[in-house]
Structure 1
Amino acid sequence: MALSRLDSLYMAVVADHSKNPHHHGVLEDVEQINLNNPTCGDVINLSVKFDGDVISDIAFAGDGCTISTASSSMMTDAVIGKTKDQALELADIFSKMVQGEKADSQKRLGEASFLAGVSKFPQRIKCSTLAWNALKKSIERSEM
């Protein structure tokens, strides 16, 4: 079965985010959130800087598969400059999307919406949501 042009574009964007991730690294002087996916070995270290209620900077490091790394990169692009509530809402939209729910709100995810196809591969859902779960944990801890 040949890939459609749109599928090819999506695959190219995912591959580019994996090979050239955005916001890759570690931020100093902020709490580090470390999560892993024991089923495949993905590991993420997420650092988020908050300016009041707004995500002013974000970075991730770690080792992960193509989906995990691309999702992490796309997540950082999607949430930087957003409030904590907006970021949590995007995380919820993303989680529902990769579990197969379709909604117009997916467009708010930016390029992360290209990962909707993950829903066809249940074993990859944890890979795609690892960074988003780390983000939720970071926001939760910032509220303490």
Structure 2
Amino acid sequence: MNLDDLYRRVIMDHYKNPRNRGLFADDALNIELNNPTCGDRITLQLKVEDGIVQDARYTGEGCSISMSSASMMTEAVKGQTVQHALELAERFSALMKGEPAEFEEYEDIEALSGVNKFPARIKCATLAWNALRKGIDPDREQQQH
């Protein structure tokens, strides 16, 4: 099996068997984002305590790339410090730009590396990661103005 086939299988596995899909019944930080270009939308919920992403869940509608990326992202950030989660988001941005980036602690994310060959799909892949940043990066609001 070649690498592209393996990556396709990983993406489809996360799409058909999403991890952390659903909403919390109690309080959580809610972040809603959409990609107006293609209609993908996500609601990301985070439970952050003492600088640690204790848990993460999401719901939404979109293509296999956006929903798989959300599944992978929530798996990767659970139990991580906010700082480490933001570093993962930065590495993911680099990956989408075609720059070398490794995710040794969560290799499934590398399955999305081929998306950078399709510029229109990059926004699909980064939607969940942008929601993560919006929710936990205290400087992000200031950067957007």
- Could you state the TM-score of these two structures normalised by the residue count of structure 2? 0.90
**What are the residue-to-residue correspondences of 1:126-137 with 2, within 5 Å?**
126-137=123-134
* Correspondent of 1:119 among 94, 104, 116: 116
Aligned partners of 1:33, 1:110: CA distance in 2, in Å? 25
Structure 1 runs (4+) greater than 6 angstroms displaced: none
Using the TM superposition, give the Cα deviation of residue 44 of structure 1 relative to its aligned residue in structure 2, in angstroms: 0.2
CA contact (8 A) 1:107 1:113 kept: no
Query: Which structure 2 residue ranges, 5 or more long, are not aligned?
Result: none
Determine the structure 2 residue equivalent to 1:22.
Answer: 19
* Correspondent of 1:99 among 79, 97, 100: 97
Determine the structure 2 residue equivalent to 1:70.
Answer: 68
Determine the structure 2 residue equivalent to 1:57.
Answer: 55
Q: How many residues align?
A: 139
Deviations 1:68-87 (A, max 9, x none): 00000000111111000000
- Could you state the TM-score of these two structures normalised by the residue count of structure 1? 0.90
Aligned partners of 1:36, 1:48: CA distance in 2, in Å? 17
Aligned partners of 1:110, 1:76: CA distance in 2, in Å? 13
Deviations 1:25-60 (A, max 9, x none): 112311210000000000000000012111111000
Query: Which structure 1 residue ranges, 5 or more long, are not aligned?
Result: none
What letter is aligned with 1:20? Answer: N
Aligned partners of 2:90, 2:65: CA distance in 1, in Å? 18
Alignment pair present for 1:33 and 2:31 = yes
What letter is aligned with 1:112? Answer: I
* Correspondent of 1:10 among 1, 7, 10: 7
Aligned partners of 1:66, 1:115: CA distance in 2, in Å? 11
CA contact (8 A) 1:94 1:109 kept: no
CA contact (8 A) 2:86 2:137 kept: no
